[in-house]
Amino acid sequence: MFWTRLASGIILVVIALLTMSLGGVPLAVTLLFISLVAYRELTKALQCATDDKKLNVLEIIGLLGVIGYYVSLYFVNDAVILLMCIVAVFMAEMFVYVITFPRFQALQVAAAVFAFLYAPVMLSFVYLTRSCPQGIYMVWMILISSWGCDTCAYVVGKLIGKKRIFPVLSPRKSLEGCIGGVVGAAFIGGLYGYFFVEKAFPDQTVMWIIAFICAVGAVMSMVGDLAASAIKRNHSIKDYGKLIPGHGGIMDRFDSMIVTAPMIYFLTILMIRF
């Protein structure tokens, strides 16, 4: 199990390095695929899906919305158009709810919209960050804040973790591990800022800013991880899927990145402007 998980993790890191470095079509297509799978995993977990193998009309609208959203993201990348896509998905789901009543419950419609916002829209901020000025440097803070924090938290928790702060939601998470994750992400971010990002901002000292952004992102990554775990516990499931050997589904591996990406994007925009 350990070696399977390690091999899968290495492959994921390689894919992340390649797509984030290249940006453009490779990154957009990769995020689209991840978003489609994550959307389906969420609709099943939230019991919007009425069949594990067949899609219902709510899910079909959501999946078409994901495709339309990412097509707009790549070809137009305009905030108004993207907002229109989000509202269109919501209105389409409501339309189906009304004309097919009482086929679907209100909670199923809410789950379909929530799944669309939670994974596809939030993940799109990876692409938006990469598209920023100097985005080729900024986008790596998402990985540092999510996967870097996760690794540091795991190591510190294993070594000195004692105080369990989420005994029901995540029994193995410790206060020491959480602190270690945030500090570790900030430290890695600071090193990354010093050796790489300052080349993009020669007239500024951004090391401490990058460290701060990664620390905030790390906190959000843990929120994302715990939120995804809470959904699983609410619905008594172990994993969201089986796509990634040793890890589970897309949501099991990308849960922290989903929440971290928007935070890094907004903090990056503030850093660039001010």
11 lies in the same domain as 80: yes
Q: What are the backbone dihedrals phi and psi of residue 174, each rounded to the nearest 5 degrees, phi first?
A: -115, 160
> What is d(CA 109, CA 47) in angstroms, rounded to the nearest whole number?
10
Q: If you search the block for the tokens 């990469």, which residue do you land on?
A: 130
211 lies in the same domain as 192: yes
The pLDDT value given to residue 146: 94
pLDDT of 212-259, one tens digit each? 999 999 999 999 999 999 999 999 898 998 888 878 899 998 999 999
The pLDDT value given to residue 2: 56
Range of the domain at 27: 1-131
202 lies in the same domain as 81: no
Q: What are the backbone dihedrals phi and psi of residue 261, each rounded to the nearest 5 degrees, phi first?
A: -55, -50
199 lies in the same domain as 268: yes
122 lies in the same domain as 162: no
**Ranges of H-type helices in the chain:** 2-22, 24-45, 57-75, 79-99, 106-116, 122-130, 135-138, 140-143, 149-160, 175-195, 207-234, 250-273
**For the chain, how many residues are written?**
274
139 lies in the same domain as 273: yes
State the chain's mean pLDDT as an integer: 92
> What is d(CA 143, CA 70) in angstroms, rounded to the nearest whole number?
21
Domain end marker among 131, 156, 184 = 131
> What is d(CA 143, CA 147) in angstroms, rounded to the nearest whole number?
5
The percentage of the chain sitting over the pLDDT mark of 90, rounded to a whole number, equals 72
185 lies in the same domain as 259: yes
Domain end marker among 104, 131, 158 = 131
The pLDDT value given to residue 177: 94
The pLDDT value given to residue 4: 77
143 lies in the same domain as 262: yes
Q: What is the number of domains present in the chain?
A: 2
> What is d(CA 3, CA 20) in angstroms, rounded to the nearest whole number?
25
> What is d(CA 85, CA 83) in angstroms, rounded to the nearest whole number?
5
Which positions of the chain have pLDDT values less than 50? none
121 lies in the same domain as 86: yes
The pLDDT value given to residue 172: 85
165 lies in the same domain as 254: yes
273 lies in the same domain as 137: yes
Residue 241: helix, strand or coil by DSSP? coil
> What is d(CA 40, CA 233) in angstroms, rounded to the nearest whole number?
18
- Concatenating the DSSP letter of every residue in 91-148 gives HHHHHHHHHTTTSS-HHHHHHHHHHHIIIIIHHHHHHHHHTSTTHHHHTHHHHIIIII
